Structure 1
């Protein structure tokens, strides 16, 4: 098995085919390989794959993420664009491409025979159920049974499209997801968007990555006790047509030493009545 210091395989080489047996992955790799000195943006990658294979942006985004199992693809910002540079073998690369879940895990997840999102069933609605990661692996989600759920193919596809919208923030989301305190996970997510609006659905997902947070909205508002300026508004979700709440951090302060929750509670006790919980 190659280590992270070994040269990258040449496109169309037998070595590459051993680790990327699918042609579409090889074609994407070849594009990034040729652009190592001029890293492309996701927009350029999508355009290339659209012209080559006619595939949807969400499919291309997924293929880029799948390369991470074998190769190190660094992301960095230049102006308003996030660029993707093929830098070498992944540090903790896998010996084989992604594999399916074993039969026992798959059967356990699909046992309810009902889509966890829309509630449709194979028998009553003729849908096909698939195993879905509640928290995407690219954002720090695990293969543990607690992070798996049954979704119909339609809901699964829509969810992937939704998450693909935020792929440029994947590194920041993964970093936020690793933090132990929910206030920190929420705050770092809001900071990652650099003052832009963040949909409540995404905040709820990241807030609950370590443990489920039914009151994540309260945790978001509580950041104001730390002198953060948290704004919210309701507007239509372009994907569903539903009106949802969006949040953004217009200003933030450094995190306190020690427990964030303890500091918030201390400020509440000390008479910080200017912030409504």
Structure 2
């Protein structure tokens, strides 16, 4: 039984965290939002923006409740560190933005139109809420628990593998290239969490990555639903191995190579600084 104890702790911790997120999300979706609609009668467009913003709040509150009640400690991961958060927002946009610029310059992507900003806020809130939810689950909870009980290498690999594998259910997404890309970027986000200890920093880095892809009018992890709302309208004019095709730039070989290289360099730097050698406790997450 003692051998199973760490595995049970991981499963119980993850279950409690998801329960907290589901409860707070349901409270907002089924309670707060309908109450606002009934009381103030906003337009459907405004109500949609309110719903997306409040879901973000719900996920943050759910994580705070999990840490306070299940782990019995302050939720230091939710601390506001403006300079750190701003740095990682910029890093997320630049990390994917720079190879995209190069692909435009090579003619792999062609800018065909500049659209208005109508869909930018709504899609931005959705991307932010989704990125924060994913980073809370995979980094704030699963990564931290696995690291605590099994060490840093399983913690880097297991959540990132699960994160990458779950995306294969997206439209136009599949094969080894995006799976490797998802694993590499998942490890990168785990390292951001190691470096900062801050859910906002890693969540907003993730959101900045996704939003940059959306803003350029390219498919985001195989999904094309938002391309018509993007401020830039882009055609894929190069071969699929270069552009990523309908899977988006995360299936582009140059982008995947860049992610692997950056993640490898970041991993080496974290190791050199000794950030991967400590073992989290129940008190420090």
TM-score, normalization by structure 2: 0.31
- Radius of gyration: which is bigger? 1
Greater relative CO, 1 or 2 (CA 8 Å, sep 6+): 2
TM-score, normalization by structure 1: 0.31
Structure (1/2) with the larger strand percentage: 1
